[in-house]
Amino acid sequence: MIAPAELDAQDCAILAVLQEDARLSTGAIARRIGLSQPATWRRIRRLAEAGVLAGQRLDLDLEALGFTVTVFLGIKLATRGRVSLEDFERAISAIPEVQGVQHVLGLYDYRVRVVARDLADFERILRRRIMTLPGVGDVEANVLLSEERLPGPLG
């Protein structure tokens, strides 16, 4: 872990550049932030070793690939305590259309991101794959209209 005080403006600049394009070479990043290539490389290595770089995310045009619907589900387990969370997590993660699962605390137990070809396809996934999972209780569905990712508190 890196304490916030140990992260200077140049580290933040490197992170911002990588968030935008993870494919850039060390040389290209160095030129953008105005540091030497070895200095940039050392900083990137330090960030990687501290576990700050959490892997790459591929941004695909879902619609062009035939997935016109993304839905976020809030799922409440019906019989908490009797259903093993691990079993539920394993089962829901195994559904191919499920693109993300978060365990949360509050009104729901899980937040689940589902992609589907269209609303009819979504209904099929919901009825046949998700509602049939052991322990599923209350389910709320919200259809995604727009999504924006922000750089976060860097500098």
The burial of 17, by beta-carbon neighbours within 10 Å (0-12 exposed, 13-18 middle, 19 or more buried), is given as middle
Distance between CA 41 and CA 27 in Å, rounded? 9
Distance between CA 14 and CA 118 in Å, rounded? 39
Cβ nearer to another protein, comparing 115 with 126: 115
Give min distance, CB of 140 to another protein, in A.
Answer: 6
Give min distance, CB of 96 to another protein, in A.
Answer: 4
> Interface with another protein by CB under 8 A: which range of 30-38, 75-83, 88-96, 126-134?
88-96
Based on the shown chain and the rule CB under 8 A, indicate whether residue 120 belongs to the binding site for another protein. Answer: no
> Interface with another protein by CB under 8 A: which range of 30-38, 75-83, 94-102, 127-135?
94-102
Based on the shown chain and the rule CB under 8 A, indicate whether residue 82 belongs to the binding site for another protein. Answer: no
> Interface with another protein by CB under 8 A: which range of 30-38, 75-83, 106-114, 130-138?
106-114
Cβ nearer to another protein, comparing 13 with 15: 15
- Using alpha carbons, select from 114, 115, 110 the residue that is nearest to residue 83: 110
Total residues interacting with another protein, rule: CB under 8 A? 65
Based on the shown chain and the rule CB under 8 A, indicate whether residue 107 belongs to the binding site for another protein. Answer: yes
φ and ψ of 75, to 5 deg = -120, 130
Cβ nearer to another protein, comparing 82 with 105: 105
Distance between CA 48 and CA 100 in Å, rounded? 24
Scored b (16 or more CB within 10 A) or e, 62-80 reads eeeeebebbbebbbbbeee
